[in-house]
Structure 1
Amino acid sequence: MTDTLSPDAQIVRDFLDASMKPDPVKAATYMSDDVVITFTDGAKYDHPSGTTAFNAARYKWVKKKFGQFDVAPGKDETVVYSVGTLYGEWPDGTSFEGNRYVDRFVIRNGKIIKMDVWNESAERILVRQGIRA
């Protein structure tokens, strides 16, 4: 059985699909011109190309395995959470999977106006470097 996503959750899903290709130009079509993207390191970007460059430096490649999309509709804006795991390869070619993530999106008038990104990559990097058990 396939779950049908709400229109706002579908915008997020389509954005994430474009982001994972990666196709930051197509991903930007789902975002407002004044979008604010806050990434895992606290850096702020105004276009998906910023996060694509960040990911290119952190991973050889990375994809998302979607878990759930939680939708909280509001009067003028809707908040959509995408929860799941990351999988891919570190720059040295070592595979990883099961890296939990939460992305929070604010949607207004059919466009993403805000995106906040959290995942466990930094902690996993510390473990790989022997800094953390």
Structure 2
Amino acid sequence: MPIIETHVLEGYSDDEKARLSRALTDAALSVVPAKPDAITVMIHEMPRSHYMRGGTHRDPAPARPDAAATVRAYLAAMEARDLDTAKSMLGDGFVMNFPAAPGMSALEELIAWSKPRYAFVKKAYDKVEAFQQGETSVVYTIGTLFGEWLDGTAFDGIRFIDRFELRDGRIVRQDVWNDMAEVKAQA
């Protein structure tokens, strides 16, 4: 079964090295038909003093932020209507696409668009999946929506999937699919 060895400069945290090990395991699983526990990942740390590029000692690049954690923090800020915090997680060219809505690039547009639809909405997560496509981090959140319609009637159990793209640790795209219109039509 696969044995993956990689070398990194010292300076990455244990959490960052664990994230790297999981990512390397997942990469191997995408090609090799093995059980996860049959894949061995070994990370060798190199002291900075033993590494030079261009005749100069180098420091390691900072690790990318955990994309799934960034998305969860963004969604929590949105749910709390902490728009300043949510905006701080957005990158240049940010766009969000919701069912039956034009592409929006400002969080205030989303708030205005949703205002005549429901009093509030929250999410219950079944799972969060994250992976890397080149320089873009992709995160899916999957679960159900619950909240209250404008007339005060509660709703819950509405399926949703959100897909996010992040570059350099910032969210640049959000695509949303849900059954809200279908459920509301039946209410």
Normalising by structure 1, we get a TM-score of 0.87
- SS of the residue 1:49 aligns to: helix
Q: Which residue of 1 aligns with 2:129?
A: 70
Q: Size of the alignment, in residue pairs? A: 124
Which of the pair has the greater relative contact order for Cα pairs under 8 Å at 6+ separation?
1
- Which has the greater radius of gyration? 2
Q: Structure 1, residues 28-49: CA drift from partner, whole Å, max 9, x if none? A: 1111131011112141111222
Matched, 1:35 2:94: yes
Q: Contact 1:24–1:52 at 8 Å: present in 2 too? A: no
Give the corresponding residue for 1:122.
181
2:115 match: secondary structure:
helix
Give % identity.
35
**Separation in 1, partners of 2:113, 2:77:** 16
Q: Is 1:16 the counterpart of 2:75 in the alignment?
A: yes
Correspondence for 2:44: none
- Which runs of at least 4 in structure 1 moved beyond 3 Å after TM superposition? none
Say which SS state the counterpart of residue 43 (structure 1) adopts: coil
Q: Partners in 2 of 1:24 and 1:53 — Cα distance?
A: 13
Displacement after TM superposition at 1:8 (Å): 0.3
What amino acid does structure 1 have at the position aligned with 2:184? I
Residue 100 of structure 1 aligns with which residue?
159
Which of 89, 113, 117 is the aligned partner of 1:58?
117
Q: Secondary structure at the match of 1:57?
A: coil
CA displacement at 1:23 relative to structure 2: 2.3
Distance 1:119 1:24 in 2: 22
Of 99, 103, 108, the residue aligned with 1:44 is 103
Q: Distance in 1 between matches of 2:137 and 2:92?
A: 18
Q: Distance in 1 between matches of 2:93 and 2:108?
A: 14
SS at match of 1:100: strand
1:7-63 residue CA offsets vs partner (Å, 9 max, x unmatched): 000010000001111222321111113101111214111122221222222111111
* Counterpart-to-counterpart distance in 1, 2:128 and 2:141: 5
Equivalent-residue separation in structure 2 for 1:41 and 1:18 (angstroms)? 24
